[in-house]
Amino acid sequence: SGLPAAQVRRTFLDFFRDQHQHLLVPSAPVRPRGDPSLLFVNAGMNQFKPVLLGTVDPRSQMALWRRVANSQRCVRAGGKHNDLEDVGRDGTHHTFFEMLGSWSFGDYFKEEACRMAWSLLTEHYGIPADRLYVSYFGGDAGSGLSADRETRDIWLHLGVPASRVLPFGLKDNFWEMGDTGPCGPCTEIHYDHVGGRNAAALVNAGGAEVVEIWNLVFIQYNREADHSLRLLPQFSVDTGMGLERLVGVLQGKRSNYDTDLFTPLLDAIHQRSRVGPYGGRMGAAPDAQVDRAYRVVADHIRTLAVCIADGVHPGMSGSELVLRRILRRAVRFCAEVLQAPPGSLASLVPAVAQTLGDAYPELFREADRIADIINENEGHFLSSLQRGSRLIQRTCLRTGSGPFPAAVAWSLHRDLGFPLDLVDLMLEERGIQVDRQELDRLVSHDQKMRAEQQADSQPRLLLDVLSLAALQRAGVPHTDDGLKYRYHLE
């Protein structure tokens, strides 16, 4: 019931293009281009960073843009915005999601931005105004930032009752892209799913009753490398609304997994799974674990498909290592909790394309390649997974309800390639915890060893070069490639 997701997306884009003269631009790939401060694209504004900072090449097309809108594919699984740990535990945080965004680059500012957002939600989508709450930046004495009273007044003027206009601090209402980058005070729109009397107290409280749906950021500063704020020469508006959450609101669902963006995917999982169907249970009760596995697998397969389509493959460093962790978590939940046969994960790719293909036709084109890469990586991990699970079982029999030995957790990671956060999840299911202090010690010891090894390898290279020179001087026949020569001798 309710507006289908594809129409929700379309309505947003049409509104900004037809009613407010915004240019529609394509989503950037999730791999950030030329921005080492990011692992993945985490917000629609990433690709516009040079425009916001005023460093855009004046000859580029972007330099002409004043108003744009789009739907941007985002991944929040690392860096400042990391939601990986929340996935499966709630119905509103995904590792991959679509952000519906609108921008004014030095054109209109706060008042028009609020007015447009309010009009779209209440008039075009028809959301009852009395279910909406707005928040604004209440100031922060420590950093000398004052409250954004201007925005508060704008909302009051638009007819929002004072009891539903709420101030919050830096954490919720001062948006920053990462450790550095464009930032500023923001105002956010929240939806009350219940219609309760105490809803104001539930804004930004982390529950499912009241969810944040739209963030309107007033970009005024750049966060510099020394953590200071530099005032920008021109002010901009940068808004982002989670498509999945908005669809949840419009389809009357508190959990995004109950919307048409996910239900075909959950059905496809059920066809391959020996447990289920998906029942929507949340929380830590044993019977909620199957439902959580459904959510994790549905979330992770979307992320895997989109990332691989955009050229990020599971690998050994940076964003690729994050994707490898996501893949291994998905493989584990598929095989062990959902009891689905090998190959199941990759076989879900067409269902992902079916739910997202409207916006990302490349998912259809690339479906076979994506499935191959997932299968190949699943194969690498499956035998280790079995050995690791048996190791966990045996160890738990030995230690009972006491803490899980750090050395075993470390060996699961180092020798069998288990992501440490997956080990945590598997132990949590058994109601036990790892000896955290000892594990932290092992991790930092390992980091130190690696750093030393790396330092060691430099003199060795120097030695190779020196011995090559010696060979040359002595007139010994050799190849140009010193390293090749050494391997040849060995």
Rule CB under 6 A: which of 137-176 touch ligand ATP? 175
Site residues (CB under 5 A) for Mg ion, limited to 184-213: 212
Q: Which is nearer to ligand ATP, 68 or 335 (CB)?
A: 68
Distance, CA of 188 to CA of 136 (rounded, Å):
7
Site string for ligand ATP, 35-54 (x = CB under 6 A): --------------------
Question: And the tokens for 382?
Answer: 């499956």
Q: Name which position in 29, 78, 88, 240 contacts ligand ATP (CB under 6 A).
A: 240
Return the residue nearest ligand ATP (CB atom). Answer: 242
Q: Which is nearer to Mg ion, 215 or 256 (CB)?
A: 215
Residue 182 or 242 with smaller CB distance to ligand ATP: 242
Binding to ligand ATP by CB under 6 A, coded x per residue (else -) over 196-235, reads ----------------xxxx--------------------
Which residues does residue 236 pair with via DSSP β-bridges, in sequence order? 105, 219
Instruction: Report the nearest approach of Mg ion to the CB of residue 82 (Å).
Output: 9
> Cβ atoms within 10 A of the Cβ of 367, count?
18
Q: Between 223 and 328, name the residue whose CB sits nearer to Mg ion.
A: 223
Q: Least Å distance between CB 70 and ligand ATP?
A: 14
Q: Which of ligand ATP, Mg ion, none lies near 99, with the C-beta cut-off 5 to 8 A by kind?
A: ligand ATP
Q: Which of 9, 76, 110, 292 binds ligand ATP (CB under 6 A)?
A: 76
Place of tokens 């079982």: 393
User: Binds 94, which of ligand ATP, Mg ion, none (CB < 5 to 8 A, cut-off by type)?
Assistant: ligand ATP
* Using rule CB under 5 A, residue 239 touches Mg ion: no
Binding of ligand ATP at residue 133 (CB under 6 A)? no
Considering the complex, state which of residue 133 and residue 214 has its C-beta at the smaller distance from ligand ATP.
214
Q: What pairs with residue 97 in β-bridges?
A: 74
Binding of residue 15 to ligand ATP (CB under 6 A):
no
**Cβ contact 249:234 at 8 Å:** no
User: Should residue 260 be labelled a site residue for ligand ATP when binding is judged by CB under 6 A?
Assistant: no
Provide the token pair at 275.
């447990």
Q: Which of 187, 215, 273, 344 binds Mg ion (CB under 5 A)?
A: 215
Of these partners, Mg ion, ligand ATP, none, which one is at the site of residue 240 (CB under 5 to 8 Å by kind)? Answer: ligand ATP
CB of 427 to ligand ATP, least distance (A): 24
Distance, CA of 340 to CA of 347 (rounded, Å) = 11
- Told to check if 409 binds ligand ATP by CB under 6 A, we report no
Q: Which residues bind ligand ATP (CB under 6 A)?
A: 76, 83, 93-94, 97, 99, 175, 212-215, 240-242, 244-245
Q: Which residues bind Mg ion (CB under 5 A)?
A: 212, 215
